Structure 1
Amino acid sequence: MSSDITPPVAHPSITHDTVVRLVTEQLPDFVHLGIGERFDGWDCAMFRLGEQYAVRLPRTQGAVRFLQAEMHWVPQLSGGWDFPAPRFVAHGLPSQGYPWPWAVVTWVPGETADTVPLRADAGAAVGRALVQVHTPAPDDAPFNTEQSIPMADRDPKVRERVTELAKEPGPLGETMNVAAALTIWDAALAAREHTEWVWSHADFHGANVLSHDGAFGGIVDWGSMAMCDPAVDLGFVHTLMPRAGVDAAVAEYGRLTGRVDNDFLARARGIALSKCVGVAMSPRPVTTAMGWRGLVALGAASTA
């Protein structure tokens, strides 16, 4: 299995008992809240800390820089956001056998949109949230090695995965339409490249967007944020909701920014294809299902 679709193994020190000891030692005023359920993302593990907070710990050495970037940039950028997102309330140091920095963040309630997809009527709210995120990025903003790159750099992997996914149906009998997928991809490659770098979440898929019974509930996990083409996050919206919702998100975003034209749409659809063919190959069933839903929303696959 390709390493970029299989989560890395977490450091063995990350346990409930370790987190209890870390909080007791370094943040004793929080101990009475109690350490609760564990949630593992790609880069960080989180443990509930009472009702209002969570302890966030990098799972690997490579993920430390993502937490550090999040701690540095999110407080500077989030002042004008009116959608729910985690806020940092405390920082911790290596100890108790855990080798890296860690943090306490506010807990944002909701189900992730990979398990409870957003409804189409959530599209406009998503578009408005991305307008707030997409402010001009400075020269020292992080460069994301997967999402800040030219479209052409994605080409071999996308074509390989389209071909691979065409060999077997998806979990609900979805089938890849190779001709449609490659038409989308060729249009993305032919589109004029962007000329504006904006702050981007850069990992805006269903595991990082929250749902309240299908309504937009907020955005979490900002560790991959970077300077990107503004079309990147709009492409990821295909993993969140049906096609009508994607169209509504793009329309609202375009209305508020003036950024959406045919080249923007072609790039966004190319980004969507690139992301969805990757997550559709995940060994995690909920992620696989999200990838195939996104391919259907994109028109690159059809249902049985």
Structure 2
Amino acid sequence: MHADQVDVTTDIVAALIREQFPRWSGETIRRVSSTGTVNAIFRIGNDLSARFPLRLADASEALAVLEQEARASAELALVSRFPVPEPVALGKPGAGYPMPWSVQTWLPGTVASDADPSGSDAFAEDLAAFIAALRDAGTRGRVFSGDNRGGVLAHHDDWMAKCFAESEGLLDVDRLRQVWSHFRELPRTGADVMSHSDLIPGNVLVEGDRLSGVLDTGGFGAADPALDLVSAWHLLRPGPREVLRRRLACDDLEWERGKAWAFEQAVGLVWYYVETNPAMSSLGRRTLDRLLESTQ
């Protein structure tokens, strides 16, 4: 999926576990099929999962990221009303893999991309309850500090210009430019709140038509209150989407900003993964369709 991607195999994972965590060396190692774009995931026995960053980075810098993600995941676990993975251990480079890696608890369930809950009001209620619990946790004085989604919309102009250039022939770029020209001007009024930051179908577990768990919690941090509203567009159809909006008491501006963050993410998904990860590219298209229908 990435030009700088690192190959990770079951044999490499088994060797790393034998060397660094021999207490798990008797467990079965299985690669987990996933549309994820950041980590290769391997199951260790029935209760653990190992996550290996896919993109090559300086080992010390990668370790700092994993340590921060572990702290964020542990903090989110204390406030979530739904099961989330909890950090267990950090591994070191070795056995042909050049970077540190992490071990978490394994959560059973089906990802929402495989069991579509988009028409369920009950799922929308659960999702809103999850987001509300994170917001209620309080930032303890922290503010957004990063270059990803969650800060100032207009700071993404360069990225969006690249996306529009790469999307020629794939999408109606003229219309997308017009939509972004509106979104980028939306003012920010609310203070930062604690946010999951990536509520897409692959990070949400369902059982029946209910939320049963949330994955990829290492991005938990302070951000625009509208950021987690991307879930309304990635995960829900119009009826349940309104359920989530009412439950979170979103005013018009916050709702529009949620659309803007979902738009920024979706446009990038379409072209970047069109050949290497068709499922993610399709997610981007579906989310864009929902957003454009809502702006007509």
Within 5 Å, which residues of 2 pair with 1:147-186?
147-155=149-157, 157-158=159-160, 161=163, 167-168=169-170, 179=175, 185-186=180-181
Using the TM superposition, give the Cα deviation of residue 71 of structure 1 relative to its aligned residue in structure 2, in angstroms: 0.8
Tell me if 1:61 matches 2:57: yes
Q: Distance in 2 between matches of 1:232 and 1:80?
A: 18
Q: Distance in 1 between matches of 2:212 and 2:2?
A: 25
Q: Distance in 2 between matches of 1:98 and 1:141?
A: 34
Q: Check whether the contact 1:144–1:224 (CA below 8 A) recurs between aligned residues.
A: no
Distance change in 2, residues 1:177/1:222 (3 Å): same
Aligned to 2:132: 131
Q: Check whether the contact 1:236–1:271 (CA below 8 A) recurs between aligned residues.
A: no
Aligned to 2:241: 246
Tell me if 1:95 matches 2:94: yes
Q: Distance in 2 between matches of 1:237 and 1:218?
A: 17
Q: Check whether the contact 1:112–1:210 (CA below 8 A) recurs between aligned residues.
A: yes
What secondary structure does 2:206 align onto? strand
Distance change in 2, residues 1:265/1:162 (3 Å): farther
Using the TM superposition, give the Cα deviation of residue 229 of structure 1 relative to its aligned residue in structure 2, in angstroms: 0.2
Aligned to 1:197: 192
**Unaligned 5+ runs, structure 2:** none
Q: Check whether the contact 2:92–2:100 (CA below 8 A) recurs between aligned residues.
A: yes
Q: Which amino acid aligns with 2:256?
A: A
Q: 1:275 aligns with which of 262, 265, 270?
A: 265
Tell me if 1:261 matches 2:285: no
Using the TM superposition, give the Cα deviation of residue 87 of structure 1 relative to its aligned residue in structure 2, in angstroms: 0.9
Q: Check whether the contact 1:111–1:210 (CA below 8 A) recurs between aligned residues.
A: yes
Q: Which amino acid aligns with 2:254?
A: F
What secondary structure does 1:280 align onto? helix
Using the TM superposition, give the Cα deviation of residue 286 of structure 1 relative to its aligned residue in structure 2, in angstroms: 1.0
Q: Check whether the contact 1:194–1:229 (CA below 8 A) recurs between aligned residues.
A: no
More off after superposition, 151-160 vs 217-226: 151-160
Q: 1:42 aligns with which of 34, 37, 43?
A: 37
Q: TM-score under structure 1 normalisation?
A: 0.80
Q: Distance in 2 between matches of 1:8 and 1:227?
A: 31
Which structure is richer in relative contact order (CA contacts within 8 A, separation 6 or more)?
A: 1
Question: Deviations for 1:17-48, whole angstroms, at most 9, x for unmatched residues?
Answer: 12112212222222222111244632222111
Using the TM superposition, give the Cα deviation of residue 217 of structure 1 relative to its aligned residue in structure 2, in angstroms: 2.9
Q: Distance in 1 between matches of 2:109 and 2:4?
A: 26
Distance change in 2, residues 1:24/1:155 (3 Å): same
Aligned to 1:297: 290
Aligned to 2:204: 209
Q: Which amino acid aligns with 1:273?
A: F
Alignment length, in residue pairs? 284
Q: Distance in 1 between matches of 2:41 and 2:51?
A: 5
Q: Distance in 2 between matches of 1:233 and 1:54?
A: 25
Question: Deviations for 1:117-157, whole angstroms, at most 9, x for unmatched residues?
Answer: 32332111111111122233245567231213311122454
Q: Distance in 2 between matches of 1:158 and 1:243?
A: 26
Q: TM-score under structure 2 normalisation?
A: 0.82
Q: Check whether the contact 2:195–2:227 (CA below 8 A) recurs between aligned residues.
A: yes
What secondary structure does 1:98 align onto? coil
Q: 2:281 aligns with which of 285, 288, 295?
A: 288
Q: Which amino acid aligns with 1:118?
A: P
Aligned to 2:111: 112
Root-mean-square deviation over aligned CA pairs: 2.9
More off after superposition, 153-162 vs 187-196: 153-162
Aligned to 1:80: 79
Q: Distance in 1 between matches of 2:163 and 2:9?
A: 35
Q: Which amino acid aligns with 1:61?
A: A
Question: Deviations for 1:2-30, whole angstroms, at most 9, x for unmatched residues?
Answer: xxxx5454323x22112112212222222
Q: Distance in 1 between matches of 2:47 and 2:264?
A: 36
